[in-house]
Amino acid sequence: MTEKLSVKNLCKIFGDDPDAALAQLRAGRSKDEILKQTGMTVGVQDANFSVGQGEIFVVMGLSGSGKSTLVRMLNRLIEPTAGEVRIDGEDIVSADPEQLRQIRLKKIAMVFQHFALFPHKTVAENVEYGLKVQGVPAAERRRRAIAALEQVGLEPWADHRPQALSGGMQQRVGLARGLAVDPEVLLMDEPFSALDPLIRRDMQQELIELQRKLKMTIVFITHDLHEALILGDHIAIMKEGRFVQIGTAEEIVGEPADDYVSAFTQDIDRAKVFAADSVMAEPQALELSKDTPRSALERMTELKRNALYVLDGDRIAGVVTYRGLAGATSGHGGDLGAALIREYPAIESAAKLYRLYDLARGELPVAVLDDGRLVGVARQGDIFKQLAAGAGEAEGAARQPAPAGA
Amino acid sequence: MWQPSDSITLPLGDWVDGFVKGWLAPNFRGVFHAIGWPVDQVLQSLSGFLHAVPMPVFTIVVALIAWWAAGRGVAIFSFLALLVLDLIHVWSDTMTTLAMILTAVVFCAAVGVPLGIAAARSDRFARILRPILDIMQTIPPFVYLVPIVMLFGVGMVPGIIATIIFALPPIVRLTNLGIRNVQAELVEAAYAFGSTPRQVLWEVQIPLALRTIMAGLNQTLMLALSMVVIAALIGAGGLGLEVYTGLGRLDIGAATEGGLGIVLIAIILDRITQALGEQRDATAPGLLDTLKSLFRPGRPGRQARQEPRQAA
């Protein structure tokens, strides 16, 4: 994955003499000490991250953590005190005003928390705004605005005022306004936090679907860890102007960097974060052509398993159980195929655990597939162990290591 | 008992006298003529136009404008008021006064809106401007009538200059306020999409501040009307002169006719400009939207609540 946006040592200090405070910060003083001594506030301290092409990078933090300041420094609505922001290697922080304007016109669009739609313009005119300031002719920008509105399902409302729309619809207009300029990076500053919970969930789904189609590079700000986990390819947890952890959803929930992060993650539904591959064990599959019922039984005893999958070349032929085989060997020894169960539960490796609940209820282990190939088996016990890991932490019990993937 | 003035005199009056008469008036006559010239041009053309339009035509046009802007009630009122002004034989004076205050308001807007915009964009400029506006609003107009006469002479133009000084502050203040009150997120959004400061001003700030600016214009207009009589002291004609001469001769009838004319004009202009300001109300759906929504299946609100299911 190519790197689209990279941020290095980005700092923001609010106050009269930010450079002096920056020097103190570099000398290792804490945010509180600097505030007490100089009266200056450290908004963001040494943010470092990079976002790959087509990735959603979520910055999650509570209010006052500096996340809104951070996202505004990416297009310099707030001037950074120090550090660099690069899109495709081009530094934004050192750009002159005209270069900056070109970058804002063509490369970065933004979606705002309270929508920030212009109330004196129609929905279509709002969506056209970025194109209008680019100088795109009226007919062309109307066409592109309608196309963007179609993406979010609002083209029938093109000639209404935004105030006539509900909050969710208004934010879709905000999203369409961002999409219309076909940006390389889309900044979303808590876009869904002003919406009702139900509408918020719809919007999250819609964003995921849009993202599947458009493969945008998105920096998404939120104060809601659930939202971060659903949307983020990578997630940064921010506290008091600093990143305390950056990682995938599974890393954040599975290995929280400190108490602050684990406090957030403890009531997260782990079944929606972890994928099947986090609980699967080596398949230890049998070969239909080589193995016999006897060798299969020996293998199960050795592995302490009640069932094993049987491969026919690359393909899964089926699954055999201890009980089924025990009957078969006593009767007519020899053929593994006779005991083969051809109906077996299977799931893709990227599927979240909650989808495994029903499948794992039977006595057969669930086959975990990657492109139709058997990569592991998921057993009921391992699933529960993964789900219980968070609860154990919450109660202060010793943390169980997350079961290793295959 | 002794007091300081018994021994020392601060000759402030002499200084000002000397400054204005001895230096400003002779040396800068040309400058003040140049300032007066555009005012005179606008006044002449407005006055010529208003006097040329036949009374019935003018009355009907104003009534129609009032209807379009403010509704039937104001239209009927405007029609009757203008009819009364004609019946009491002050029509020509009314047109003179109207030309005068419209000229003053045109210049107030031309100067005041840019000043207000500049003040909204620069805190320092706003800090400098504020005491000047305070002085303009608190100083009694009589005080600056004399220097104005010295510098501009007597007649309509100096009357209008005095009116401009008196009526300018509200439009400056309210333009400043209107632009500063535009939601920061909207301005941020405009910049985020790469607008130049000029585009932000024209596309976002001025349209959204328009309602407040119109309120300022309305206030300026009202202040200009209240200067009509005072401006008559230095030779401005019209309804003000009617009142002024009525006062001098204790002719209560003439003064009342002039006074009534001013009041009626004030009400008509006030209602129309107020209504124009409210039409620009950006937060309410426009008239067209409201009408359209009557013919849609389901109001916008109801549609909105169905929307999650459509999305799912």
In whole angstroms, what is the distance from residue B68 CA to residue B304 CA?
Answer: 33
pLDDT per residue over A36-80, tens digit each? 888 888 888 888 998 988 899 999 988 888 888 999 999 899 989
Of the candidates A206, A184, A203, A171, the one whose C-alpha atom is nearest the C-alpha of residue A109 is A184
Of the candidates B85, B89, B60, the one whose C-alpha atom is nearest the C-alpha of residue B75 is B60
Give A173→chain B minimum CA distance, Å: 13
Determine contact, residues B259/B243, Cβ cutoff 8 Å.
yes
Tell me which residue in A161, A168, A205 faces B289 most closely, judged by beta carbons: A161
Identify any residues that bridge with A234 across adjacent strands, giving them in sequence order: A57
Give A53→chain B minimum CA distance, Å: 21
pLDDT per residue over B122-153, tens digit each? 999 999 999 999 998 888 888 888 888 888 88
Question: Residue A329 — pLDDT band, cuts 50, 70, 90?
Answer: low
In whole angstroms, what is the distance from residue A237 CA to residue A230 CA?
Answer: 14
Mutate to test the interface with A, among B193, B203, B283, B294 (most CBs of A within 10 A): B193
In whole angstroms, what is the distance from residue A237 CA to residue A258 CA?
Answer: 11
pLDDT per residue over A307-328, tens digit each? 888 888 888 888 888 887 777 6
Give B281→chain A minimum CA distance, Å: 9
Largest interatomic CA distance in chain A: 89
Mutate to test the interface with B, among A115, A118, A189 (most CBs of B within 10 A): A118
Name the amino acid, one letter, at B206.
I
Mean pLDDT, chain B, as a whole number? 85
pLDDT of A90 strictly over 60: yes
Residues A219 and A301 in one domain: no
Choose one of A236, A268, A300: the last residue of a domain.
A268
B 257-296 residues with CB below 8 A of A? 282-286, 289, 293
Residue at A172 is within a domain: no
Evaluate whether ipTM surpasses 0.90: no
Residues A108 and A227 in one domain: yes
Task: Find chain A residues with C-beta within 8 A of B193's C-beta.
Answer: 104-105, 109-110, 129-130, 133, 177, 181
Residues A49 and A190 in one domain: yes
Task: Find chain B residues with C-beta within 8 A of A97's C-beta.
Answer: none
Task: Find chain B residues with C-beta within 8 A of A127's C-beta.
Answer: none
Give A138→chain B minimum CA distance, Å: 15
Looking at residue A404, its pLDDT comes to 44
Q: Which residue reads 């893709």 in tokens?
A: A348
Tell me which residue in A129, A161, A169 faces B286 most closely, judged by beta carbons: A161
Residues A247 and A292 in one domain: no
Identify any residues that bridge with A275 across adjacent strands, giving them in sequence order: A352
State the CATH number of the domain containing residue A32.
3.40.50.300
In whole angstroms, what is the distance from residue A228 CA to residue A230 CA?
Answer: 6
Looking at residue A332, its pLDDT comes to 52
B194, A202: Cβ pair inside 8 Å? no
In whole angstroms, what is the distance from residue B229 CA to residue B250 CA?
Answer: 15
Q: Which residue reads 């050192």 in tokens?
A: A94
State the CATH number of the domain containing residue A326.
3.10.580.10
Distance, CA of A173 to chain centre = 23
Name the amino acid, one letter, at A121.
K
Task: Find chain A residues with C-beta within 8 A of B309's C-beta.
Answer: none
pLDDT per residue over A366-382, tens digit each? 888 888 788 888 888 88
In whole angstroms, what is the distance from residue A268 CA to residue A387 CA?
Answer: 10
In chain B, % helix, strand, coil (3-state, to 5) comes to 85, 0, 15
DSSP conformation letters of A304-346: T-SEEEEEETTEEEEEEEHHHHHHHHHHSTT-GGGG-B----E
Q: Can you read off the two tokens belonging to residue A178? A: 């961002």
Residues A114 and A249 in one domain: yes
In whole angstroms, what is the distance from residue B133 CA to residue B138 CA?
Answer: 9
Looking at residue A334, its pLDDT comes to 64
Task: Find chain A residues with C-beta within 8 A of B295's C-beta.
Answer: none
Residues A333 and A244 in one domain: no
The whole-number average pLDDT for the span B261-273 is 92
pLDDT of B49 strictly over 50: yes
Tell me which residue in A103, A113, A199 faces B308 most closely, judged by beta carbons: A199
Residue at A45 is within a domain: yes
DSSP conformation letters of A10-35: EEEEESS-HHHHHHHHHTT--HHHHH
Residue of A nearest to B312 (CA): A202
Looking at residue A210, its pLDDT comes to 87
A177, B193: Cβ pair inside 8 Å? yes
Give B301→chain A minimum CA distance, Å: 7
Residue of B nearest to A105 (CA): B194
Mutate to test the interface with B, among A105, A166, A188, A219 (most CBs of B within 10 A): A166
In whole angstroms, what is the distance from residue B65 CA to residue B60 CA?
Answer: 9
Looking at residue B186, its pLDDT comes to 92
The dihedrals phi and psi of B3, each to the nearest 5 degrees, come to -135, 160
pLDDT per residue over B1-30, tens digit each? 888 888 888 888 888 888 888 888 888 888
pLDDT per residue over A353-365, tens digit each? 888 888 877 778 8
Residues A211 and A105 in one domain: yes
A202, B191: Cβ pair inside 8 Å? no
Looking at residue B180, its pLDDT comes to 94
- Give the number of other Cβ atoms within 10 Å of residue A113's Cβ: 18
Determine contact, residues B103/B45, Cβ cutoff 8 Å.
no
Task: Find chain A residues with C-beta within 8 A of B195's C-beta.
Answer: 133
Residues A247 and A337 in one domain: no
B 189-208 residues with CB below 8 A of A? 189-196, 199, 203-204, 207-208
Residue at A310 is within a domain: yes
Residue at A21 is within a domain: yes
Residue at A327 is within a domain: yes
Of the candidates B254, B220, B252, B247, the one whose C-alpha atom is nearest the C-alpha of residue B233 is B247
Residue at A378 is within a domain: yes
pLDDT per residue over B193-246, tens digit each? 989 999 999 999 999 999 899 999 999 999 999 888 899 988 888 899 989 999
Determine contact, residues A277/A350, Cβ cutoff 8 Å.
yes
Residue at A133 is within a domain: no
Residues A258 and A288 in one domain: no
B308, A118: Cβ pair inside 8 Å? no
The whole-number average pLDDT for the span B270-281 is 78
Give B155→chain A minimum CA distance, Å: 44
B193, A130: Cβ pair inside 8 Å? yes
Residues A330 and A364 in one domain: yes
What radius of gyration do chain A's Cα atoms show? 27
- For B29-278, the fitting CATH number among 1.10.3720.10, 1.10.540.10, 3.40.50.720, 1.10.10.10 is 1.10.3720.10
A 258-317 residues with CB below 8 A of B? none
Determine contact, residues B193/B203, Cβ cutoff 8 Å.
no
Residues A7 and A83 in one domain: yes
In whole angstroms, what is the distance from residue A236 CA to residue A61 CA?
Answer: 8
Determine contact, residues A320/A340, Cβ cutoff 8 Å.
yes
Return the DSSP state at B205. I
Q: Which domain holds residue A332?
A: 277-386
pLDDT of B307 strictly over 80: no
Question: Residue B91 — pLDDT band, cuts 50, 70, 90?
Answer: very high
pLDDT per residue over A293-307, tens digit each? 888 888 888 888 888
Provide the strand spans (E) within A31-143: 41-52, 56-61, 82-87, 90-91, 108-111
Looking at residue A405, its pLDDT comes to 41
Mean pLDDT, chain A, as a whole number? 84
pLDDT of B304 strictly over 50: no
Looking at residue B279, its pLDDT comes to 65
Domain ranges of chain B: 29-278
Of the candidates A250, A256, A212, the one whose C-alpha atom is nearest the C-alpha of residue A237 is A256
Name the amino acid, one letter, at A209.
E
Residue of A nearest to B182 (CA): A118
Higher pLDDT, B131 or A23: B131
pLDDT per residue over B168-180, tens digit each? 999 999 999 999 9
Task: Find chain A residues with C-beta within 8 A of B186's C-beta.
Answer: 116, 118
* Domain tally, chain A: 2
In whole angstroms, what is the distance from residue A59 CA to residue A80 CA?
Answer: 17
B285, A161: Cβ pair inside 8 Å? yes
Looking at residue B301, its pLDDT comes to 39
**Counting Cβ atoms within 10 Å, is residue A38 exposed (0-12), middle (13-18) or buried (19+)?**
middle
Residue at A346 is within a domain: yes
Q: How far is CA A91 from CA A5, A85, B34, in A?
A: 10, 6, 52
Which DSSP helix (H) or strand (E) runs through A99? helix A97-106
Question: Residue B80 — pLDDT band, cuts 50, 70, 90?
Answer: very high
Tell me which residue in B185, B196, B308 faces A168 most closely, judged by beta carbons: B308
Residues A288 and A262 in one domain: no
DSSP conformation letters of B124-153: HHHHHHHHHHHHHHHS-HHHHHHHHHHHH-
Question: Residue B75 — pLDDT band, cuts 50, 70, 90?
Answer: very high
